[in-house]
């Protein structure tokens, strides 16, 4: 099954360049998802591509940061601000990112 995720333009660029190997979320999917279609928010405002879901990691924010920091594509400060007050964090491992031509 495919899922649609909304993402900021700077993070989409990092996914397609290979700098960002994980997409972080506060919640995960209720069904098995094999690929994710990316909708990039303003000012782009369109679907730009997709990637395969390699795995979905679930752990405490501190432990998840240790596992993913080398391919996080975001700063430690941004990560911990995003997950502030959360006991669980999720990281979607990105595989085979594909940017659409149109």
Helix (H, G, I), strand (E, B) or coil at 101: coil
Rounded to whole angstroms, what are the CA distances from 19 to 1, 14, 71, 102? 25, 5, 7, 22
- pLDDT tens sequence across 64-77: 999 999 999 999 99
- Residue 71 has a pLDDT of 97
Read off the DSSP letter of residue 29. -
Q: Is the pLDDT of residue 4 over 90?
A: yes
- Residue 30 has a pLDDT of 84
Residue 92: which H helix or E strand, with range? strand 89-99
Domains held by the chain: number: 1
**CATH at 64:** 2.30.130.30
Model pTM?
Answer: 0.94
Range of the domain at 76: 2-99
Q: Judge contact between 50 and 2, C-beta under 8 A.
A: yes
- pLDDT tens sequence across 6-21: 999 999 999 999 999 9
């Amino acid at each position: 099954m495919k899922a649609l995720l909304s993402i900021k333009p700077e993070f989409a660029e990092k996914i397609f360049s290979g700098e960002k190997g994980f997409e972080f979320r506060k919640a995960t999917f209720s069904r098995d998802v094999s690929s994710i279609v990316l909708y990039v928010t303003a000012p782009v405002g369109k679907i730009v591509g997709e990637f395969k879901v390699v795995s979905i990691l679930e752990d405490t924010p501190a432990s998840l940061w240790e596992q993913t920091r080398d391919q996080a594509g975001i700063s430690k400060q941004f990560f911990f601000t995003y997950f502030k007050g959360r006991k669980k964090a999720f990281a979607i491992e990105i595989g085979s990112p594909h940017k659409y031509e149109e």
